[in-house]
Amino acid sequence: MSLLHRDTRRDALEQLSCFRGEFYSCLTARSDALFELADAVLCGDGPVRSLPELSLVGEHRRGHGGLYSAVARGRVDAGRIRRALASVSLPRAVDGRLVLTVDITCWLRPDAHTSPQRILCHTYGRGKDQHIPVPGRPYSIICALEPGRSSWTAPLDALRLAPGDDTATATARQLRELVETLIKAGQRQEGEPKILIIADAGYDAPRLAFLLSDLPVQVLARMRSDRVLRQAVPPRQPHTQGRPPRHGSEFVFGQPDTWSTPDTETVTDTRLYGTTRARSWDRLHPRLTHRSSWAAADGTLPVVEGTVIRLDIGHLPSGATPKPVWLW
């Protein structure tokens, strides 16, 4: 009722109506109360700090007793709602590809001493140069990004990490299920650009790409500036004796004398960051060890090659000294 029909498109209203109907069908217990609770979360005037506040929102027509009953006894068909989210119109990049980003958001619960499966979550920004672990529950969230300067995202999936879960393995399994669901929903056709997956430095990018190598995806992740990779093995000379090496020379991010000639180099003048320089090196890979999470049935470790990109910018709008950004 808050939308003016002359200012909206009919297809957008139809899509919203169909999605709300499908969302209601995903609620298998206490459906009416859960549906009004979701409307109250969306229509609240500010951030939600407590459940009783939601019972005062006009879209929630039940009392606070019905609200607590919906939270305690309500049920949601998670698989069906994942398929419903994957079927809606999603934002795309300029070339038409889907861009997915994955990150971990922690729900801090330091005072919930009786809550099960809490994990010490690393928090940032609580003090100058302080990284304080706080008990909570980490959630792996995947969203579809819009192009350009926009803060709008389309959330597609959320998974709570249990104690002892390997972040890369759990995230790869979550991404695999989501990508397969998107393909079944017709979001990507054969011959279209691969789905781009963006991750931060907290993820093991080579392992993530290795676990998803059979899917039509590309992984773009930030790397720490203290990483050491290996270059490709140079061509073997004729009549060379001995076992051929599996790794080339070292490529140390912090030592420019170990870098080879970049395969690609571009210089661009930007309005906010001045002159930006981008260099890339192909076929770099980490040297894996058996002590890490990598496992091989025959005892051999794979060689996961990728392109490493270094971005150097002239200045920051805040006046701070910019640091180089490494991408894999």
What are 17-27's pLDDT values in tens digits?
889 999 999 99
Output the DSSP codes for 44-79: -SS----HHHHTTSTT--S-HHHHHHHHHH-EE-HH
The CA-CA-CA angle for residues 211, 326, 314, to 5°, reads 155
Tell me: pLDDT of 256 over 90.
Answer: yes
Domains of the chain and any CATH numbers: 5-76 (no CATH), 91-218 (3.30.420), 228-237+244-327 (no CATH)
For the cut 80, the answer to whether the pLDDT of residue 126 exceeds it is: no
- Would you say residue 213 has pLDDT above 80? yes
**Between 294 and 85, where is the model more confident?**
85
Q: What is the mean pLDDT of residues 101-116?
A: 89
Q: Where are the beta strands (DSSP E) in the chain?
A: 27-29, 75-76, 99-108, 119-124, 131-145, 153-160, 195-199, 217-223, 228-230, 250-252, 264-270, 274-284, 306-312, 325-327
- Report pLDDT for 10: 60
pTM of the model: 0.85
Per DSSP, the three-state class of 90 is coil
- pLDDT per residue over 145-169, tens digit each? 988 877 788 899 999 999 988 888 8
Q: 91: exposed, middle or buried (C-beta count within 10 Å: 0-12, 13-18, 19+)?
A: middle
**Rounded Cα gap, residues 169 and 176, in angstroms:** 11
pLDDT in tens, 275-284: 999 999 999 9
Using pLDDT thresholds of 50, 70 and 90, give the confidence band for residue 255: very high
Q: Is the pLDDT of residue 2 over 50?
A: no
Q: How confident is the model at residue 16 (pLDDT cuts 50, 70, 90)?
A: confident
